Structure 1
Amino acid sequence: MTAVDHETLVAMLDRLKLTAIRDQLDTLLDEAARSDMTLRESLAFLVQREIARRDERRISMASKLAQFPFVRELAGFEFEAQPSLDPGQIRELATCRWIAHGDTTLLLGPPGTGKTHLAVALGREAIRQNHSVQFVTAATLVAMLAKGHDDGLLEKQLTQLSRPKLLIIDELGYLPFEANAAHLFFQLVSRRYEKGSILITSNRSVGEWGSVFGDPVVATAILDRLLHHSTVITIRGDSYRLREKRRSGLLQKAGPAFETDKANHS
């Protein structure tokens, strides 16, 4: 075979859009030579680097589209600080089988116990497994639905919110729903039911959701759909933020931890 100079090889890689191999060509070839790789092993090595670069870019872009408030990973979660959590159950959620099936996950517990951390980390795991994700707070979601309703664009808004394979709704229950908001939320849940997964974090047990939505009948209809195929995880631990203040003596120990009337549904 005719010898190929560096510039020609770079041009061919450019044409094939193999930019990771192109950008590290000399380094990769030197590493393959030092490791005495066979031709087949060298090819696999180069292709693996290209795939890794593309995965990094895909995850980065999908994470921006998801609109996560910050970057969090499961590896950074302090399970020892929340003994009520079963790490095995969280690892099972990280396989994303529940997302493939269109199921629901509820993360319940007091503020500061790591619910949003887990939600973002599970969302990033979903992206790694090629699922589309959108993150939104409950307050922002309700505002979006209300605006869509007022502008006569509710159907368009519901369609957009139905597209992601996983919709993460954070901080449900921190603010009560305004009039008609529960009905709009019900329409979204119904649209995604058994089609797209929902992950909700809340500081309220499901038994309190009637007061959150301001309409017990609608709340029951919402929960009927959310709990049909679901995993409900309750964190009964202490707030990370308050724990540090207690260690410094600024706060006294709080009263009984958050409780819920449900633990698991399938």
Structure 2
Amino acid sequence: MSQLEHTSAQYRSLRLSAIGRDLVGLVSQAEANDLSHLSFAQMLAEHEIAERTRSRISRHHRQAGLPLDKHLEDFDYRHQTTITKRQVNALLDFGFIDNRENVVFIGPPGVGKTHLAIGIGQKAIQAGYKVLFRTALDLVEDLELAEMKGELKKRISQLAKFDMLIIDELGYLPMTAQARFNLFQLVNALYEYRSIILTTNKDFTDWGEFFHHDNVAIPIIDRVIHHSNIFMLGGESYRLKQKTSS
């Protein structure tokens, strides 16, 4: 084993895997640029940090479960005139996550609510936050299964490890009394502790009807809208418009 191979193995044993893997190229680059010892040491550190950051972001993308490759750069603000690019960009300093605030997109199907939620989620992951995407139906089923196993508190604690939870399409399907209770338990646990992005086709005035009981709807609404950024989206369905124009 050469000295270079031995040194690479030592870096890997120290769990500096990126340096250990790429040491040959890094040494060649340092020699070609006649780097000082300090500059070479700095290059090694920066390389390891960059690779760890890339690996962490990749892992967070996989964990997030984002269903579609939607990006804010592709959002058509010309079609959706009820929200502006400036309003969305103002969210991208992620102060709302740091301050445990929520974002709510309300509007009919097809106007871009999910696109915006996913796009913001993508940006949040790139900025280093842990994000989880769930449709309301999948989330309700997840909580219901945990409740049946007697593990509801444990599952809520697991969900609360994410910096931001995206709940998509709340209001499209009816919910049982147990499902409503489970959802309240989750929202209550996240309140002022984690951030939620919520997309819904139901105005808050209709939530009592959707939840079949104001005693459940009111406390959920109270916790969702307190410290929240609410956007009312209108207009014709973008998907329908694309289909009819093709």
TM bucket, shorter chain: 0.7 to 0.9
Correspondence for 2:54: 56
Bigger relative contact order, structure 1 or 2, given CA contacts below 8 A and separation 6+? 2
The reply on whether 1:17 has 2:15 as its aligned counterpart is: yes
Measure the CA separation in 2 of the matches of 1:35 and 1:114: 50
Q: Which moved more, 1:143-152 or 1:181-190?
A: 143-152
Q: Is the 8 A contact 2:10 2:20 kept in 1?
A: no
Match of 2:172 among 174, 179, 185: 174
**Structure 2 letter corresponding to 1:77:** F
Q: Is the 8 A contact 1:106 1:231 kept in 2?
A: yes
CA RMSD of aligned residues (A): 2.5
Q: Which runs of 5+ in 1 are unaligned?
A: 249-266
Q: Is the 8 A contact 2:4 2:24 kept in 1?
A: no
Deviations 1:73-123 (A, max 9, x none): 333333333232222222222222111111111112222233222222322
Correspondence for 1:8: 6
Q: Which moved more, 1:204-213 or 1:6-15?
A: 6-15
**Structure 2 letter corresponding to 1:8:** H
Q: Is the 8 A contact 1:103 1:198 kept in 2?
A: yes
Which aligned pairs between 1:140-179 and structure 2 lie closer than 5 A?
140-179=138-177
With structure 2 as the length reference, what TM-score do the two structures score? 0.86
Correspondence for 1:68: 66
Correspondence for 1:188: 186
Measure the CA separation in 2 of the matches of 1:221 and 1:30: 62
Correspondence for 1:83: 81
Q: Which runs of 5+ in 2 are unaligned?
A: none
Match of 1:203 among 201, 204, 207: 201
Q: Is the 8 A contact 1:176 1:211 kept in 2?
A: no
Measured at CA, do residues 177 and 22 of structure 1 come closer, stay the same or move farther in structure 2, by a change above 3 Å? Answer: same
Measure the CA separation in 1 of the matches of 2:78 and 2:33: 41
Runs of 4+ in 1 over 6 A off after TM superposition: none
Measure the CA separation in 2 of the matches of 1:72 and 1:45: 34
Give the secondary-structure state (helix, strand or coil) at the position aligned to 2:192. Answer: coil
With structure 1 as the length reference, what TM-score do the two structures score? 0.80
Which aligned pairs between 1:212-227 and structure 2 lie closer than 5 A?
212-227=210-225
Give the secondary-structure state (helix, strand or coil) at the position aligned to 1:79. Answer: coil
Give the secondary-structure state (helix, strand or coil) at the position aligned to 2:78. Answer: helix
Give the secondary-structure state (helix, strand or coil) at the position aligned to 1:80. Answer: coil
Deviation at 1:221, TM superposition (A): 1.6
What's the % identity of the aligned pairs? 37
Deviations 1:8-50 (A, max 9, x none): 3322332333332333334444445555655444443333332
Greater fraction of residues in helix:
2
Measured at CA, do residues 114 and 17 of structure 1 come closer, stay the same or move farther in structure 2, by a change above 3 Å? Answer: same
Measured at CA, do residues 17 and 180 of structure 1 come closer, stay the same or move farther in structure 2, by a change above 3 Å? Answer: closer
Number of paired residues?
245
Measure the CA separation in 1 of the matches of 2:38 and 2:51: 20
Measure the CA separation in 2 of the matches of 1:200 and 1:136: 10
Deviations 1:124-171 (A, max 9, x none): 333334333222111112222233333433333333333322111111
Q: Which moved more, 1:216-225 or 1:42-51?
A: 42-51
Q: Is the 8 A contact 1:68 1:120 kept in 2?
A: yes
Measured at CA, do residues 75 and 32 of structure 1 come closer, stay the same or move farther in structure 2, by a change above 3 Å? Answer: farther
Deviation at 1:212, TM superposition (A): 1.9
Match of 1:127 among 120, 125, 128: 125
Measured at CA, do residues 24 and 133 of structure 1 come closer, stay the same or move farther in structure 2, by a change above 3 Å? Answer: same
Q: Which moved more, 1:214-223 or 1:166-175?
A: 214-223
